Amino acid sequence: MKRSHHLRILGILFVLTLPLANPWVRGDGVNYYAYVRALLVQHDLNFQNDWRHANLSFRILSVDPQGQIAPDFYTSTGHLRNNYAVGSAMLWAPFLAPVHAGMLILRRLGFAVEADGFSKPYLLTMAWATALYGFAGLCLSFLIASTFVGERWAFLATLGIWFASGLPVYMYFLPSYSHALSVFAVALFLWYWQRTRISRSLSAWLVLGLLSGLMLDVYYLNIAILLVPLGESMHGYWRNWVEPRHNWAESRTLFVRDLAYCGATVAAFLPTLVTREIINGHAFELGYDPLGFSHWIHPALWQPLVSSNHGLITWTPIVIPALAGLVLLRKRDRELAAYSLAAVAALYYLVACHEDWHGVSSFSNRFFISLTPFFILGLGVTLQEVASCFKQARSANAAVAAVLGALILWNAAFIFQWGVGLIPHRGPISWRQMTYNQVFVVPARLGGALKSYFTNRSAMMQRIETEDVKTLNLN
């Protein structure tokens, strides 16, 4: 099957799943969405209206019943503290700007519409844009993987990670979070890096720098992905050094291009620095408390992977063959395997050092969703390696399809449990209860829940929010 056919099937699946997109700004998403709404509607970075319109479990911590926000939430510049990245707002803006213009025109024509950034047209647009960016990231990841494995296996790997990981939660159910947008930014960066890898001109290095800055604008932890171009450059310097007379000319050329790359990265990161200056009074004050030395030397070594408190591989086991595939990638591309594993390990270490390594309210461990392109590449390698062990292609296809199908169904039921509160949104879960729910509770409740999701979604979201607030009060 041609690549275009696989992309067409992915597109059909995306259209079919688009109705799942949930126009809901919640939790961390309040902070991400506040940037674009405040700038678009108010032309400033005053987030008071965003805090007052936030979901109850967000407001309960900062806004009193009279709508007054506690002084502790303001910075020295008089702005509400918002430490979250601005890249999501940058990516939403091209979709939301024409919607806002249309709402203003309708209001001038006498229609009773709310051009405040909180009404349904804005939220639907934000949700659809997030889903579209997530889908674009999946397509780019498929293109990357198909460079190293057969297109069939790249396609199946894309389907597997799409529907058997935590990505669907943040691509559809919680679209105001940055994670699906981060998948797009990382995939675009890796796709362009691979595409220009053999012979990268100065202008290509500049573009790569701009894409690197965008990754950081969207999600700070993506700094770990920068180990890919760093490793590439270090390997280039070493290769030039071991040549006769050390090939100083090539090293000087590479150094100039590295400087250009760094300059472009900083330039693309300027939107974040400008907002830090306005909100916190200093461009390099991100607003997060620095981690103590003990965190760096005593990380939560295994918990982010195997804990019942949103462990990555215990909640989403499809990551296991994906990580194995990055090791097996050494047979196809030794350098890319090394860069990929270094980036994955670095991001893991950053997460493990943080006191909230579990992501607080998270499906699986949401901090690792940015690694989706790496997971798709690794899973594709593993699938092709496993398929090579079968004598008949039909048997290989059937085995892979059966395993992926089982993982997708298990993950869908798990997401349902987490979404409706059959298991806690925060903290560790009981595997015994979770397994019982998967077999006996989810099949009985799924039909009615899906009907409510598509016919009376607002009421369903309100019930979920009310139950979550009760949990917070109990704790």
Q: Residue holding tokens 């704790």?
A: 475
| pLDDT at position 164 | 97
| pLDDT at position 289 | 66
Write out pLDDT tens, residues 227-262: 999 999 999 989 988 888 788 888 999 999 999 999
Question: For the chain, how many residues are written?
Answer: 475
291 pLDDT more than 80: no
Model-wide pTM > 0.85? yes
The residues facing 69 across adjacent strands are 63
| pLDDT at position 470 | 80
φ, ψ for residue 307, nearest 5 deg: -70, 150
CA distance 409 to 85: 33
| pLDDT higher at 24 or 292 | 24
In this structure, the number of other CB atoms found within 10 A of the CB of residue 120 comes to 11
CA distance 273 to 385: 45
Which helix (H) or strand (E) covers residue 161, if one does? helix 151-164
469 pLDDT more than 90: no
Helix (H, G, I), strand (E, B) or coil at 69: strand
Write out pLDDT tens, residues 296-333: 888 888 999 999 999 999 999 999 999 999 999 999 99
Q: What value does the mean pLDDT take over residues 364-384?
A: 97
Write out pLDDT tens, residues 337-355: 999 999 999 999 999 999 8
- Exposure on the CB side of residue 245, measured as CA atoms within 13 A: 4
Q: Are 375 and 319 in contact (CB under 8 A)?
A: yes
Q: Which has the minimum average pLDDT: 20-24, 112-116, 439-443, 467-471?
A: 467-471
CA distance 220 to 214: 10
Q: What value does the mean pLDDT take over residues 17-44?
A: 96
| pLDDT at position 1 | 59
Percent share of the chain, pLDDT over 70: 97
| pLDDT higher at 469 or 441 | 441
Percent share of the chain, pLDDT over 90: 79
Write out pLDDT tens, residues 387-414: 888 877 788 888 899 999 999 999 999 9
| pLDDT at position 292 | 58
CA distance 406 to 163: 11
φ, ψ for residue 226, nearest 5 deg: -70, -10
| pLDDT at position 293 | 56
How large is the angle between the packed helices 151-164 and 120-145, nearest 10 degrees?
140
| pLDDT at position 318 | 97
| pLDDT at position 288 | 75
**Contacts for 3 with CB less than 8 Å, ≥ 6 apart:** 143, 146, 151
269 pLDDT more than 90: yes
38 pLDDT more than 70: yes
Locate 446 and state its tokens. Answer: 């799924």
In this structure, the number of other CB atoms found within 10 A of the CB of residue 389 comes to 9
